[in-house]
Amino acid sequence: MKATLHKFKSGVPQRDLYAKGEDFEELEIEVDCTEAKELLRQLTLQRDSVYLDVGNSSVFFNMESDAGLWVEITSDTLWATSDIDIDIAEQIIEHAYEGKDFTKHIPTTNREWDAYAFIGTSINSDEIT
């Protein structure tokens, strides 16, 4: 899968625009599932992020200001977002890497996404668990 990692430098103040190389470093590489999890563990500072293009879906992880991890999923059938922990994030990476469809529940949990919307008109949300 294609991955893009953004690592911010320590002490960069909050502002509207940031300069690559000056405020953050960007790395674009092809990764497997294990390497994607390693990138995820590099998210340590506020605004650090990793974007994964898995073919049938994209997964964007972002480190929040309170040291929480936020994820946004976009697939052919679902858009979803939630605050999650690192263990759930790794499960999401595995789920996407294996090509599984995302549903109204966060993978490996019974918890619904904090926000989600089904994409397409042929989907009956009552049938998707």
Walk along the chain (129 residues) and give the pLDDT tens digit of each residue.
Answer: 999 999 999 999 989 999 999 999 999 999 999 999 999 999 999 999 999 999 889 999 999 877 689 999 999 899 999 999 999 999 999 999 999 999 999 999 999 999 999 997 555 555 555
For residue 12, the model assigns a pLDDT of: 94
For residue 93, the model assigns a pLDDT of: 97
Give yes or no for a contact between 62 and 53, defined as CB atoms under 8 angstroms apart. no
The one-letter amino acid at 50? V
Model pTM? 0.89
- What tokens were used for 68? 């929480």
User: Three-class SS of residue 92?
Assistant: helix
Rounded Cα gap, residues 43 and 50, in angstroms: 8
User: Three-class SS of residue 91?
Assistant: helix
Distance set, CA 118 to CA 62, 90, 126 (Å) = 22, 23, 11
